[in-house]
Amino acid sequence: MSAAVQALGKPRSSGPGMAGQGPCCSAAALQRRLPILGWLPDYSMQWLKMDFIAGLSVGLTVIPQALAYAEVAGLPPQYGLYSAFMGCFVYFFLGTSRDVTLGPTAIMSLLVSFYTFHEPAYAILLAFLSGCIQLAMGFLCLGFLLDFISCPVIKGFTSAATVTIGFGQIKNLLGLQDIPRQFFLQVYYTFLNLAETRVGDAVLGLVCMVLLLVLKLMRDHVPPVHPEMPPGVRFSHGLVWTATTARNALVVSFAALVAYSFEVTGYQPFVLTGETAEGLPPVRTPPFSVTTANGTVSFSEMVKDMGAGLAVVPLMGLLESIAVAKAFASQNNYRIDANQELMAIGLTNVLGSLVSSYPVTGSFGRTAVNAQSGACTPAGGLVTGVLVLLSLNYLTSLFYYIPKAALAAVIITAVAPLFDTKIFGTLWRVKRLDLLPLCVTFLLCFWEVQYGILAGTLASTLILLHSVARPRTQVSEGPVLVLQPASGLHFPAVEVLRETMLSRALEASPPRSAVLDCTHVCSVDYTVALALGELLEDFRRRGAALAFVGLQVPVLRVLLSADLKGFQYFSTLEEAEQYLRQEPGTQPYNISDDPVPEHKVALLKA
């Protein structure tokens, strides 16, 4: 394992309960909140070289993507760049992954377009409020809430977002004008206006897509450079690697050059990006009110207008970023701190709102570029951030000539891999019931994103609750009936267990004794204990017996504390069966007869 990986992923010996126990623990707690302290002392020139190359590669990727994603968000192009640099600097200090890059993404841009009405003021305020929510979740260690959004729900959302984003760029790819942004209207009017396709935009867009795909295939098949290669071969490999890694910047630059050439001749066959605000964004507080033609919209009205976006945007931002971080941490053999990642994303959005950023999150595509470029630490983000700032200060006038068709090609090729075509077949083979939340989320997200995610999560929760309330119970017939709950015993499942006992044991003629094997039961509550007491009483009235085996200590402690009348438990199933068959030599642990020494009962009840 490399020193970089060790510095970023080494286990931490301190925990929340160890804070304040001495200088060592205080230093560990500080390092946990400032991960830069873990790797900066070991930083080397070799790391600097690799981080510089990775930061440059990501920078050449993020600039054209940021311009394109601003279009997805329904904002002027400069807002994509305003959103692309703050995460680089914040993550340098607070990030726990050496690969993750924070910035605008296709999915987050789509959510921003849904909830901010294409108004920059709303987008900036949404970034601020999302950051505050994410910071609060980080401080309160609420990252576990994301675990309630299951993989089928995430896949359904990302697949629907991919279709929405990709189809939304068809209008730019074909040069169509005045197409609504609502998905179903967009589909209708796109097909209705196909006859108005601009040949220049369509040809350029398709050429750009082909170039991007070819360069991506080349990037995926370039063999790694070995030190024993001749210098000329190493140089050619490096040149191909650079060109394919920076393919977005190369293709967009090529398209802009073509458009500029036509502009010089006085004929322009393409729809261009147009004017982009020059210079760095001003540093100012987020807009807590906005003035419109109809008057001033107050802060409370803005919050009300954004509605469910205040929950969907921060949660999906955290989900996307942590999923990316965990994927690359697993791939590259190091660990991340999920709650610290929440802090990094939250602070990025809060500080980003001061420079007119809209909500950002971790980018899978750019993180992959960063990892493939050999990033050793988050320091590569400094290079990326500086590159974005330089482009804002000096290159915005050149962005005028970028054709929208070229940016559409960048977006479509970037989001296409997010549509997981294999997930449907996989779920069909693994667990068909999981197709329900996947399909519910996928279909409803075309209507409203929050309804899709909410309905999918609800479907997943109902499936989970059904498995808890109706656990599979293994029944073994014989002289003594043996029932074993296969997946725990929680209070919603008690009534089903009782019905099974009654139908299999007590309603038989004559009534049969039974053994409840609790090997898989790790905890019970008062409702379960009360129901088991009633079940014991039912067996006693029918002249039969119910014995327990496989009780774990927490379960035994609860049942002993409940003082169940006639409660009998054995260490093995064989002992329980011998006792219930009235074979001599086996005695139960019966609380009524008090066979357990008082001090042991007291210890178990404690």
Closest CA to 6 of 307, 376, 431: 376
Per-residue pLDDT at 404 exceeds 50: yes
Work out the average pLDDT over 473-480.
Answer: 83
Work out the average pLDDT over 214-226.
Answer: 79
pLDDT tens-place string over residues 431-463? 999 999 999 999 999 988 888 888 998 999 999
Question: What is the predicted pLDDT for the residue at 240?
Answer: 85
Question: What is the predicted pLDDT for the residue at 464?
Answer: 87
Question: What is the predicted pLDDT for the residue at 287?
Answer: 95
Residue 589: helix, strand or coil by DSSP?
strand
Judge whether 416 and 166 are in contact, CB under 8 Å: yes
Question: What is the predicted pLDDT for the residue at 230?
Answer: 80
Per-residue pLDDT at 161 exceeds 70: yes
The answer to whether the peptide bond before residue 510 is cis (omega within 30 degrees of 0) is yes
Question: What is the predicted pLDDT for the residue at 594?
Answer: 42
Residues β-bridged to residue 292:
295
Complete DSSP assignment for 216-232:
HHHHHHPPPP-TTS-HH
Per-residue pLDDT at 6 exceeds 70: no
Per-residue pLDDT at 111 exceeds 80: yes
Per-residue pLDDT at 588 exceeds 70: no
Question: What is the predicted pLDDT for the residue at 477?
Answer: 83
Question: What is the predicted pLDDT for the residue at 19?
Answer: 35
Residue 548: helix, strand or coil by DSSP?
strand
pLDDT tens-place string over residues 283-314? 999 999 998 888 899 999 999 999 999 999 99
Question: What is the predicted pLDDT for the residue at 227?
Answer: 66
Task: Scan for tokens 């601020």, then name that residue.
Answer: 128
Neighbours of 30 (CB within 10 A): 10
- Tokens at residue 515, please? 């053994």
pLDDT class of 504 with cuts at 50, 70, 90: confident
Question: What is the predicted pLDDT for the residue at 433?
Answer: 92
pLDDT tens-place string over residues 233-283? 778 887 888 888 888 999 999 999 999 999 999 899 999 998 899 899 999
Mean pLDDT score across all residues of the chain: 86
Work out the average pLDDT over 554-576.
Answer: 89
Work out the average pLDDT over 496-506.
Answer: 87
Question: What is the predicted pLDDT for the residue at 501?
Answer: 87
CA-atom Rg of the chain in angstroms: 31
Question: What is the predicted pLDDT for the residue at 597?
Answer: 44
Neighbours of 177 (CB within 10 A): 10
CA 289, CA 90: separation in Å to the nearest integer?
Answer: 27
Work out the average pLDDT over 167-182.
Answer: 89
CA 206, CA 214: separation in Å to the nearest integer?
Answer: 12
Residues β-bridged to residue 272:
403
Task: Give the percent of the chain with pLDDT over 70.
Answer: 91
Per-residue pLDDT at 366 exceeds 60: yes
pLDDT class of 13 with cuts at 50, 70, 90: very low
pLDDT class of 373 with cuts at 50, 70, 90: confident
Per-residue pLDDT at 331 exceeds 90: no
CA 37, CA 514: separation in Å to the nearest integer?
Answer: 61
Question: What is the predicted pLDDT for the residue at 69?
Answer: 95
CA distances from 123 to 108, 293, 304, 370 (A): 11, 19, 14, 27
Distance from chain centroid for Cα 412: 21
CA 471, CA 126: separation in Å to the nearest integer?
Answer: 43
Question: What is the predicted pLDDT for the residue at 257?
Answer: 95
pLDDT class of 472 with cuts at 50, 70, 90: confident
Per-residue pLDDT at 495 exceeds 90: no
pLDDT tens-place string over residues 16-60? 333 334 444 577 788 888 999 999 999 999 899 899 989 998 999
Closest CA to 388 of 472, 280, 525, 268: 280
Alpha helices in 34-119 (DSSP H): 36-39, 45-73, 78-82, 86-94, 106-115
Work out the average pLDDT over 381-386.
Answer: 96
Residue 8: helix, strand or coil by DSSP?
helix
Question: What is the predicted pLDDT for the residue at 429?
Answer: 93
Task: Give the percent of the chain with pLDDT over 90.
Answer: 50
CA 33, CA 35: separation in Å to the nearest integer?
Answer: 6
Question: What is the predicted pLDDT for the residue at 226?
Answer: 65
Question: What is the predicted pLDDT for the residue at 285?
Answer: 96
